[in-house]
Every structure is written in structure tokens, then in C-alpha cells.
Amino acid sequence: GGATRSQHLTGEAADLATGSRDSNKRLYNLVIQLKNTQGFKFDQLINEYNYSWVHVSYSKNQARFQELTIG
């Protein structure tokens, strides 16, 4: 992460790429499904640049459940 307050710097975030945009989209949707059915907690879930990768972050202080698209 390039931002000084990036959750990447504290190990609370990861950018995931599974090999194709289609499989990245499936991963994004799986995280939403796990939230809805299993109570999976996340802070941010971001579709970056048409599923070029998926950003997932977690914060022990809060779970904002933000679902975002960038790019």
C-alpha cells in the first residue's frame, strides 16, 4: 500500500489475484456470500479495476463491511 495509513502496512489488508478477472469476481462474490451466510467479517472489500485484483481488509477495531469498486 502506498498510503501512510494503509492497512497493508499493518498486515490487515491483502490484494488478491487468482489468475483471471472471472475468478477474481468469483472470489469477490464468495466473500459477500460468506458474510451473508457465515458471518464472515471484513472492513473493506474492493473490486479494483474490473476485477484485476480484489482488496480485502480486516480491522480488529471495526468491521465496516464496505463493498467498493475502484477504477
The pLDDT, as a whole number, for residue 2 is 67
Task: Return left, alpha or beta for 23; rule: phi > 0 is left, psi -120 to 50 is alpha, else beta.
Answer: alpha
DSSP for 1-66? --STT-GGGGT-EEEE--SSHHHHHHHHHHHHHHHHHH----SEEEEETTTTEEEEE--SS----E
The pLDDT, as a whole number, for residue 64 is 95
In this structure, of 3-7, 28-32, 37-41, 42-46, the range with the lowest mean pLDDT score is: 3-7
Amino acid identity of residue 57, one-letter, is S
Q: How confident is the model at residue 3 (pLDDT cuts 50, 70, 90)?
A: confident
pTM for the whole structure: 0.88
For residue range 35-60, list pLDDT tens digits in order. 999 999 999 999 999 999 999 999 98
